[in-house]
Amino acid sequence: MGQLKNGTYQVSTKGFKGDIDLAVTIKDEQIAKIDILKEEETPNIGGKALTALVQTAQGRNDFNVDGISGASYTSKAFNQALTLAKIAAQDEKQEATLTLNDGQYTTTVNSFQEHEGLPGVGKMTMLATFKDNKITDIEVPEYTDTHIMGGMAFDILAKKAIAKQSTDLDVVTGASVSSNAFRQALDNCILQAGGQPEIFAARKIKQRTPIVENLNTDIVVIGAGMAGLCAAIEATDQGAKVLICEAQEINGSSSTRSEGFVMGAGTKEQAKHGIEDTTDAFFEDIYSLYKDEPTIDTKLMRKLTHDSTDLNNFLMENGVTWSGVTHVSEKGVRNLKRAHTTAGLGAELIENLVQSAQEKGVDLRYGLAVDRLITLNGQVQGVVARNKLGDTLIIHASSVIVAAGSYTENPEMVKELNPRMNNIEVITGRGNGSAMRFFKQAGAQIIDVPYIQMMYYFYGASWGDRFPEAIPGSPTLPNYDVLEVDGGGRRVASEDDFCFEYTKRVWDGGYNEGYAIFGQVTADKYPEMTDLGLTTKTAQGKPFGYREDSIKALAIDVGIDPQTLEATVARYNELCEKGVDEDFHKNPANMIKITAPYYLVRLPQICTDGYTGAKINENAQVLDEDNQVIKGLYACGSCADSQMTGINYFGCGTSLLTCGVYGRAAAKDAVSHL
């Protein structure tokens, strides 16, 4: 390698979210200055890390700096950029340094895995084959992400890497973690083969000149989750020509990441298991939980429950197989078994619907993001969309069905629409708020709901591959052996009630978190839960838990009134000694007396999809501020369920029921106007 020439060198690499473009000024063999020209990293993680990395690298002659904890992909991309600048400053041909040893190489890296509906750390294994200094084959035989998310992303990236002989690979939209795992694994294999990953990264993939194309169809559906797929299949069954615009390149909707439960009453699956149920009983049960919500529309609720039987049949006709039917709680109105389950969870449910839609001729286009609606004389008549190549597609249609998810991937919109949601630990919902943009363009009436679908429970975004034995406040893996209190230190529900009973009372009390209290007996029973509480911090930077010799000290740790918490624990211990929960009727088997040393863990806000969205009627037609139908515009799913939900959520499978019923309702009405 030669000496470094003075100058400023513009370089570009792929970070966690997108391109990182730097201008690196080299003077007297050192990095004199680094300017960040462009970056698309997560502001509080990768963006913050980049600033620190720049400060560390400037004034040094070391073109590889220590990475920032928690921002490994961004750190790696930064160091790759410095290496590219160094290569450019040496004025040597990059291709001349490329030497790969023929053979097949394997590596295993961290990737994505879901735990109980929550994001976690998994693994992926890659086999890469090189011959004559080229990548000839890439296989990913083992991975923990789902087939229709991570699997699709791996296929897309492998084909592009081989075709272009480059690792200048954009993140596959909807699969950021799996995409970055793929790039890390391929770099590892290149290193094993004796090559330099930077050489492959420097081979920029050139895009062709974008084009403008006009298309015609009967109905455009925006989004390929449960709502969009049900709408598209229903419309196609009735003879319409349908095009789905799915902004992500994979099946990455909230539906795919869900547990795959679908609520229903009076179904064949219930009858098979000897369960007697009616849609009227279903309505009464769910309405009993939602009736005090100011946004509830009784007509929409009745249709939701009444049409649940037909939706269940529709799903089975389109390839969905139920593995059983269960209840989400053993107590109260949720006790009847109505949640229809799939063995492969939401991924299997959506994969079956995608297959059915494509077999029936639905034009499903991945990576096609809608920019705006086409409107004429107050009527929606299509969309303008853009694909990953930059092409503009002007799609003319009789109707547009918006099923684009909510807005919970848009932090600024969450702050604007839900200011009380200020202690969020994790958001698993999908949707960047594009639906809200379409509604605003069309003059739709928006129904504001102050909360996101959320629970207060013990889970940390920073836990990686660690997971507690059981989770206080969880809907799927609950820990009943603790005492749960609200943000003021009061017990407000039984710990073995369905978690949303507790959520409602904590929220109604005005608190942004709750707490779980337990003693040494429970701590010994759940060592991983206890250790996570004592050794990790929340997304807000607070200790997740505390261990103290007095209840008073625990109260002081979290800023609540010591006397209130002491009285709550004393009363709970009194009930434990009696063996009967006279206050909230908890199962005596889980009434474990709390003795010193004492433990407390925080229960922050764990969120899925936002509820604020468009006002619709029973046909899923979007209404304007005067409650008049906006012709040609429909909405269903998470962007239009504010009239059918509540803080005391009925349970897993209710949202997918809403998606299916109103996706089909939109399709039926849209077809009637062709």
CA–CA separation, 99 and 96 (whole Å) = 8
pLDDT at 94 over 60: no
Q: How far is CA 459 from CA 88, 494, 540, 608, 648, in A?
A: 46, 20, 13, 14, 20
The whole-number pLDDT of residue 599 equals 98
CA–CA separation, 232 and 548 (whole Å) = 57
pLDDT tens digits for range 493-544:
999 999 999 999 999 999 999 999 999 999 999 999 999 999 999 999 999 9
pLDDT tens digits for range 111-161:
988 877 778 889 999 999 999 999 999 999 999 988 888 899 999 999 999
CA–CA separation, 14 and 81 (whole Å) = 9
- Widest pairwise Cα distance in the chain: 82
The structure tokens listed for 379 are: 């009527």
Continuous segment of H or E residues that includes residue 553 = helix 551-558
Tokens 């099946």 -> residue: 251
Q: Where are the alpha helices (DSSP H) in 202-275?
A: 226-237, 254-257, 268-272
The whole-number pLDDT of residue 75 equals 82
pLDDT band at 364 (very low <50, low <70, confident <90, very high): very high
The whole-number pLDDT of residue 1 equals 42
The whole-number pLDDT of residue 91 equals 61
Q: Is 412 exposed, middle or buried (0-12, 13-18, 19+ CB in 10 A)?
A: exposed
The percent of residues in the chain predicted with pLDDT above 90, rounded, is 76
CA–CA separation, 379 and 443 (whole Å) = 11
pLDDT tens digits for range 244-265:
999 999 988 889 888 899 999 9
**Mean of the per-residue pLDDT values of the chain:** 92
The whole-number pLDDT of residue 662 equals 98
pLDDT at 45 over 80: no
CA–CA separation, 93 and 90 (whole Å) = 9
**For range 60-67, the mean pLDDT:** 76
pLDDT at 97 over 80: no
Length, in residues, of the chain: 674
Is the torsion defined by CA of 377, 380, 381, 385 positive or negative?
positive
CA–CA separation, 301 and 397 (whole Å) = 30
More confident residue, 520 or 32: 520
pLDDT tens digits for range 572-601:
999 999 999 999 999 999 999 999 999 999
Of 323, 290, 375, nearest to 644 (Cα)? 290
Continuous segment of H or E residues that includes residue 111 = strand 103-115
Query: What domains can be seen in the chain, in order of their start residue?
Result: 7-92 (3.30.390), 96-201 (3.90.1010.20), 213-451+611-672 (3.50.50.60), 460-603 (3.90.700.10)
pLDDT band at 430 (very low <50, low <70, confident <90, very high): confident
The whole-number pLDDT of residue 26 equals 86
The whole-number pLDDT of residue 96 equals 43
Is residue 17 within 8 Å of 49, Cβ to Cβ? Answer: no
Task: State the pTM of this model.
Answer: 0.88
**For range 255-283, the mean pLDDT:** 96
Of 107, 72, 76, nearest to 185 (Cα)? 107
